[in-house]
Amino acid sequence: DERSPDAQYVDLLLNPERYTGYKGPSACRVWNSIYEENCFKPRSVYRPLNPLAPSRGGLVSICHFSWTGLCLEKRVFYKLISGLHASINLHLCANYLLEETWGKPRWGPNVKEFTRRFDPAETKGEGPRRLKNLYFLYLIELRALSKVAPYFERAVVDLYTGNGHEDAESKALLLDIFRDTKSFHMHFDEKSMFAGDKKGAKSLKEEFRLHFKNISRIMDCVGCDKCRLWGKLQTQGLGTALKILFSEKEIQSLPENSPSKGFQLTRQEIVALVNAFGR
């Protein structure tokens, strides 16, 4: 809650997502909770190869899951969470603490760690699927950016940074991103989702919303501040993307020269969406 007296503002440029030194079995417990505490239950859930093995420097684990036997919407949900999981693992490997001598850390890609998490031989064939789910997550958020463009294209919408020149520059850059996303010809087609009876579709959408809210609460249990920051930010970014995809009619009917009524994004949601897509 942005209005909470306990809220903290964090400069994301000064706190990049990378190796943190966060160790212990708690990371796997977090992911077990994220996957298992939802009512979208996969047919089978593969336990960690070694539940006592320490995580190696971030909100990561070596848990294995399967979501066969689920309807399209529930498969999409699990693929998105798997993609989020893969994203966090990938950035840990890409920006790893390789050496620290005399207080001068050296950061860079750790190929060995990447292989351990994504190579088919090391992951019982699951690694390539995890990477495919990461690309699926990318397509979902890319689609959301293309869908939300009309919301920001209205003259009444400003991005308040505290500086008039930067406000205009920020909006221009954002509109450039939207134009690029519109030029992409292979967007995910969300029309096949929630296409059943209206009552059932509404109920399933509400389940999606509650699940993401629950995942954000689970992220609060992460013991590492930076891991928790990026975990919550990417979760909220994904939740914002789904909010956009489920609000197409409301976005299309927005008034041009007056404040939004049927659809609104908070500053926090905008920041989370753009940064999650960047990840």
Q: What pLDDT, on a 0 to 100 scale, did the predictor assign at position 211?
A: 85
85 marked as binding residue: yes
CA distances in angstroms from 210 to 46, 198, 215, listed in the order given: 24, 18, 9
106 marked as binding residue: no
268/233 Cα distance (integer angstroms):
9
- pLDDT tens, 112-122? 999 999 999 99
67 marked as binding residue: no
75 marked as binding residue: no
Residue (of 241, 192, 236, 189) closest to 214 by Cα position:
236
Q: What pLDDT, on a 0 to 100 scale, did the predictor assign at position 115?
A: 94
DSSP category for residue 53: S
144/242 Cα distance (integer angstroms):
7
SS3 265: coil
Catalytic status, residue 224 = yes
Task: Break the chain into its structural domains and give their ranges.
Answer: 24-39+69-278
Catalytic status, residue 39 = no
Q: Which one of 28, 63, 93, 227 is the catalytic residue?
A: 227
Amino acid at 209: R
152 by Cβ neighbours in 10 Å (0-12 / 13-18 / 19+) ranks as middle
Tokens of 139: 């397509």
**How do strand 96-101 and strand 44-46 relate by DSSP bridges?**
unpaired
- pLDDT tens, 244-269? 988 888 888 888 777 777 788 988 89
Q: Which one of 28, 63, 93, 224 is the catalytic residue?
A: 224
- pLDDT tens, 39-48? 455 555 444 4
SS3 65: strand
- pLDDT tens, 132-175? 999 999 999 999 999 999 999 988 888 877 888 888 899 999 99
176/178 Cα distance (integer angstroms):
5
